[in-house]
Chains A and B, each alone.
Chain A
């Protein structure tokens, strides 16, 4: 009997690999997420670090280093959160709960602004409203004889508008998912009970989506306070500092410890607002399904408001997506912003160097630095897309299979930690850890590997979330029935899991690709001339006043992002043959 037993019963090795995988994953997320954070905290506890704490928080400089940036940051955060919830909420209501024309197209349009870089809108704003305060070429309005006041050209207001134009589509995504989960029967039950429309809205729909509204507010707040591009392009020239531009400035000028201190403070500000949002809705049952798999939803007739509201929605989307794109395109062809649509030249795109145009610089497609940056960006985005999706899938799978264990809880919490950390502060933590050699390992600063590591860690929460939603579509039964046939792990993955998951994975990977291509705040600190990326190049050109080059490069990024987004959208929504019934 025992001889048979040992020959048949051979799964001890598998048991060991089942415990091995989680341990390896713990190590990976530990190095990616926890180690940089621990290191940046430790770096501020040295003698220089403690001096930096004092300089930032309790010295004559703290007004400039901490309080004013904090005030600007919080003001921007609150303003952006409020504006985004209003705008995104309005569009979500229109698209999900009313009989507005072409809801699907509107829904797609409303998600686009988040897919293009936030500095696209900032640059477009400059092309229109830039005034003569700083010298150099002025924007369209001032060149045509209008006086543009400083408050409209620079500082808080333009930054606020540009950030709302970028982040409202994040709010839209979150709120519309929640609204789609408000089933028609819920609304109809209220109607049968005799409730009027306003009563239904305030009594049923609003309470159900409140957690989503709070979530949208805290996410957009966190996005706004960690954004670097918009305040840097529109605020820095007039010395409006936010915590993220301060952090950048400190590290750029070699005051590393002060930079680290500001990074930690920025993390605290952002995380405490996210935590506050969480507290506000804690204890309530969460009704939000982020995948938005609602059943039938009830659409209210808009009556005579149907077309006017449709026009308002289209205008919102056009102003935030198409107008910036058109202005940037025109500006990249125009000799000066005053005449955006005449005297076009292709010089800034493909012109030869050594002429008297653009101080002798060649067009971007003749510039070897740009070509290198383009390839570097694509390489980075593709690498990160694959590493994060693989890691996300492995993490989601491990967390789901070990559900309830301490291991799964730890893994889940660690992999969602980066959501609390503004990307620019995260980059600072990476500099703290990898900026100097660790034992025998060389410094990673300025290497491609560092960019990959930081970006993968930053996108980990997103990757785990998409891994979860992909796995959620494949029931455990399906895999088990394959296991019963005797198919091994790799065979099951290859023949059953992958064919069912591949579209979801590719769509997730494409969105990671977009997030990397359009990112500035993560790479702005990690960038060096040996690892140039497009967004950083655009920022450099803009900072040096070569707006046409900056705009042209931004258009390249924008096109890459939009194409990838539409592709992902198509992949997610295309009907699969076996689902046609």
Chain B
């Protein structure tokens, strides 16, 4: 060990990790690290490798290449084929399925890991009571997992994981089995527990809203690679690829394909931006957030015609989905907007595009 200590040592360091299953590369050269106390969210569509990455963090899978270090201590090394035992990593995992042991009571589920860790009977009981209280499920102590609701099972799974006071908490899509209302409730609950334990958390989800609300750091994964890694607002404001730009943000942002014409970038004969923003490219994609596209004509702003699809009221405004040139666009309207499906409506571009991407997806401007 070097003399490094304190905050300069990342709590979790993932160094050039690759995981292959046969010919399939599930995780491709991932390299990120976060300081102690952070809440890292791995977000991406299904099959992007986020769960595999989490399982490697937990020690359930061995990396093919690269290494993992917790607080400067190497716990997995793919090149040498070494992995510290899942139990010896000071990390706890909350499973998507909760994985509660069905033959043990709620209290039994929480105490058993402590028993494995050789805690005394008195300490175990005290700690179980403490975490049961923290999760607000003390009344369920003697019940079996099959006798409590999904939301309660979720709380038991979390209580069981934080019981042994791990310094790293891992969550595998923990909220995906809950209904919408409970999900929002548990989201704040999880944040509270994260703060209360002071642990470093890694959270896997395909829900970008969860990523945006909970994360201190977000890694967007696609096809096993990290598309972008940073703090949530930075990703939202400065997406480096079209994938990140369209995956994050509610409602989804719009990409408009334009071509160079004279000194302008033109969509369907309509000049949208200055050609200099496309640098040397002839065709590029312009990014407009939903709130940058307004239903109806706005004096002095370019507008296009689109076919109305559907409308959803959000916070006093209306999110409108329409089609133009075969592409789905999302725009906003003030108040409650209504139209019949298939109606022709006008959409105005309120400002300059917030970003410009090459047709291959990389950011130009």
Q: A484 to B91, Cβ gap below 8 A?
A: yes
Convert B248-260 into 0s and 1s, putting 1 for each residue whose CB lies closer than 8 angstroms to a CB of A: 0000000000000
Q: Do residues A578 and B145 form an inter-chain contact, with CB atoms below 8 A?
A: yes
Please judge, given known A-B contacts A10-B85, A499-B103, whether A485 and B116 are in contact too, CB under 8 Å: yes
CB under 8 Å from chain A, chain B span 1-56: 1-2
A477 B1 Cβ-Cβ under 8 A: no
Query: Nearest Cβ distance between residue A350 and chain B, in whole angstroms?
Result: 46
- Quick one: given A9-B77, A480-B99, A481-B99, are A578 and B82 in contact (CB under 8 Å)? no
Interface residues of A in 161-186 (CB under 8 A from B): none
Is B74 touching A5 in the complex (CB atoms < 8 A)? yes
B157 to chain A, nearest CB (A): 8
Q: Which of B102, B113, B145 contacts A500 (CB 8 A)?
A: B102
Interface status of B140 (Cβ within 8 A of chain A): no
How far is it, in angstroms, between the C-alpha of A475 and the C-alpha of B96 when the chains are bound? 12
Give A491 to B118 CA distance when docked, in angstroms.
Answer: 13
Docked-complex contact A5 and B146, CB < 8 angstroms: no
Q: Do B86 and A483 have beta carbons less than 8 Å apart?
A: yes
Q: Determine if B97 is an interface residue (Cβ-Cβ < 8 Å).
A: yes
A447 to chain B: closest CB distance in Å? 41
Complex interface bits, B135-172 against A, C-beta within 8 A gives 1, otherwise 0: 00000000011110000000000001000100000000
A285 within 8 A of B: no
Q: Which chain A residue lies CB-closest to B143?
A: A581
Is B224 an interface residue, CB under 8 A from the partner? Answer: no
The interface residues of chain A lying within 8 Å CB-to-CB of B356 are none
- Contact in complex: A15, B81 (CB < 8 Å): yes
Contact with A along B80-119 (1 / 0, CB 8 A): 1111111110011101110101111000000011001100
Q: Using Cβ atoms and an 8 Å threshold, which residues of chain A touch B93?
A: 480-481, 484
Chain B residues positioned under 8 Å from A579 (CB to CB): 102, 146
Of A3, A481, A577, which is in contact with the most chain B CB atoms at under 10 Å from its CB? Answer: A481
Q: How far is the CA of A9 from the CA of B85 in the complex (A)?
A: 7
A580: CB under 8 A from chain B? yes
> Whole-angstrom distance between the alpha carbons of A15 and B83 in the complex?
10
Q: Does A11 contact B (CB under 8 A)?
A: yes
- The answer to the question of B73 belonging to the interface, with a C-beta cut-off of 8 Å to chain A, is yes
Among residues of A, the one whose C-beta sits closest to the C-beta of B95 is A477
Q: Would A9 and B101 count as touching, CB distance under 8 A? A: no
Q: Please, which residues of chain B bring their CB within 8 A of the CB of A1?
A: 1-2, 74
Does B147 contact A481, Cβ atoms closer than 8 Å?
A: no
* Contact B82 A11, beta carbon cutoff 8 Å: yes
Give Cα A439 to B85, complex, Å: 45
> A557-581 toward B: CB 8 Å interface, digit per residue (1/0)?
0000000000000000000111111
Once the chains bind, are B116 and A578 in contact (CB under 8 Å)?
no
Q: A9, A484, A499, A578: which contacts B83 (Cβ < 8 A)?
A: A9
How distant is A89 from chain B, measured CB to nearest CB, in Å? Answer: 36
Q: Which residues of B contact A482 (CB under 8 A)?
A: 101, 112
Known: A491-B116, A495-B112. A485 touches B87 (CB 8 A): yes
Q: Which residues of B contact A193 (CB under 8 A)?
A: none
Q: With A484-B58, A486-B117 as given contacts, are A577 and B144 in contact (CB-CB < 8 Å)?
A: yes
The A468-492 residues at the B interface (CB cut-off 8 A) are 475, 477-478, 480-487, 491
| Nearest B-chain residue to A483, judged by Cβ | B86
Contact between A486 and B147, CB atoms less than 8 A apart: no
The minimal Cβ–Cβ distance linking A107 to chain B, given in whole angstroms, is 25
Task: Check: A12 CB closer than 8 A to any chain B CB.
Answer: yes
A477 to B2, CA, bound (A): 37
A319 to B144, CA, bound (A): 45
Asked if A4 meets B101 with Cβ closer than 8 Å, knowing A9-B83, A10-B85, A578-B146, the reply is no
Q: Provide the bound-state CA to CA distance between A477 and B145, in Å.
A: 15
B75 within 8 A of A: yes
- A321: shortest Cβ distance to chain B, in Å? 36
B76 neighbours in A (Cβ, 8 Å): 9
Cα A441 to Cα B103 in complex, Å, equals 47
Taken together as a complex, chains A and B put the C-alpha atoms of A57 and B147 apart, in Å, by 67
Q: Across the interface, which residues of A come within 8 angstroms of B193, CB to CB?
A: none
* A475 and B144 form a contact (CB under 8 A): no
Please state if A581 and B147 are interface contacts (CB–CB under 8 Å).
Answer: yes
From the candidates A10, A477, A499, name the one contacting B99 in the complex (CB within 8 A).
A477
Q: Which of B91, B96, B97, B116 makes the CB contact (< 8 A) with A487?
A: B116
Asked if A8 is at the interface of the complex by the 8 Å CB criterion, the answer is yes
How far, in Å, is A422 (CB) from chain B's closest CB? Answer: 39
Contacts of B186 in A (CB 8 A): none
Q: How many angstroms from the CA of A3 to the CA of B145 in the assembled complex?
A: 43
Q: Determine the residue in chain B with the shortest Cβ distance to A486.
A: B87
Q: Within the complex, what minimum Cβ distance (angstroms) separates B147 from chain A?
A: 4
Collect the chain B residues with CB atoms within 8 Å of residue A3's CB. Answer: 1
Question: Which A487-523 residues have C-beta < 8 A from chain B?
Answer: 487, 491, 495-496, 499-500
Mark each residue of chain B from 331 to 361: 1 if its CB lies under 8 Å from any CB of chain A, else 0.
0000000000000000000000000000000
Say yes or no: A11 contacts B84, CB within 8 Å: yes
B77 touches A578 (CB 8 A): no
Partner of A485 from the list B60, B80, B96, B117 (CB cut-off 8 Å) is B117
Contact A11–B117 (Cβ < 8 Å) = no
A4 contacts across to B, CB distance below 8 A? 1, 73-74
CB atoms of B146 and A580 under 8 A apart:
yes
Give the docked Cα–Cα distance between A478 and B99 (Å). Answer: 5
Residue among A483, A485, A581 facing the most chain B CB atoms (10 A cut-off): A485
Min distance, Cβ B200 to any Cβ of chain A, angstroms? 16
* B80 proximity list for chain A (CB < 8 A): 5, 9
A484→B77 contact, CB < 8 A: no
Q: Is there an interface contact between A11 and B77, defined as CB atoms closer than 8 Å? A: no
Minimum CB–CB distance for B42 against chain A, Å: 18
Does B87 contact A483, Cβ atoms closer than 8 Å? yes
Q: Name the residue on B nearest A1 (C-beta).
A: B1
Residue of A nearest to B2 (CB): A1
Which residue from chain B places its CB closest to the CB of A576 in the assembled complex? B103
Q: How far is the CB of B79 from chain A (nearest CB, A)?
A: 11
Nearest-neighbour CB distance to chain B for A30, whole angstroms, equals: 27
User: What's the least CB distance linking A87 to chain B, in Å?
Assistant: 39
| Interchain CA distance A12-B59 in the complex, whole Å | 14
Given A8-B73, A485-B117: A496 and B88 interface contact (C-beta under 8 Å): no
A581 to B88, CA, bound (A): 35
Once A486-B87, A581-B144 are accepted as A-B contacts, the answer to whether A8 and B74 lie under 8 Å apart by CB is yes
Interface positions, chain B 153-202, Cβ under 8 Å from A, are 160, 164
Known: A9-B77, A578-B145. A484 touches B86 (CB 8 A): yes
Which residues of A have CB within 8 Å of B95?
477, 480-481
Interface pair B84/A8, CB less than 8 Å apart: yes
Chain A nearest Cβ from B192, distance in angstroms: 23
Minimum distance in angstroms from A154 CB to a CB of chain B: 56
B123 to chain A, nearest CB (A): 15
Q: Indicate if the CB atoms of B102 and A578 lie closer than 8 Å.
A: yes
Contact residues of A between 441 and 489, Cβ < 8 Å to B:
475, 477-478, 480-487
Query: B77 to A486, Cβ gap below 8 A?
Result: no
C-alpha gap A469/B203 in the complex (Å):
33
Given contacts A581-B144, A581-B146, contact A484 B92 (CB under 8 A): yes
* A577-B117 Cα distance, complex, nearest whole Å: 27
| Shortest beta-carbon distance from A75 to chain B in Å | 50
B102 near A485: Cβ-Cβ < 8 Å: no
Residues 292-338 (chain B) with a chain A CB within 8 angstroms: none
Which 4 residue pairs spanning A and B have beta carbons closest together? Answer: A486-B87, A477-B99, A9-B82, A485-B113
A-B contact pairs, 25 of them (CB 8 A): A1-B74, A5-B77, A8-B84, A8-B88, A9-B84, A11-B84, A12-B81, A477-B95, A480-B95, A481-B99, A483-B86, A484-B92, A485-B87, A486-B86, A486-B88, A486-B113, A487-B113, A491-B116, A496-B101, A500-B102, A576-B103, A578-B102, A578-B103, A578-B145, A581-B146
Residues of A participating in the B interface, judged by any CB pair closer than 8 Å: 1, 3-5, 8-12, 15, 475, 477-478, 480-487, 491, 495-496, 499-500, 576-581
Q: Told that A3-B1, A483-B60 touch, could you supply 16 new A-B pairs with CB distance under 8 A? A: A8-B74, A8-B88, A9-B74, A9-B84, A11-B83, A475-B99, A477-B97, A484-B58, A484-B91, A485-B87, A486-B86, A500-B103, A578-B102, A578-B104, A578-B146, A579-B102
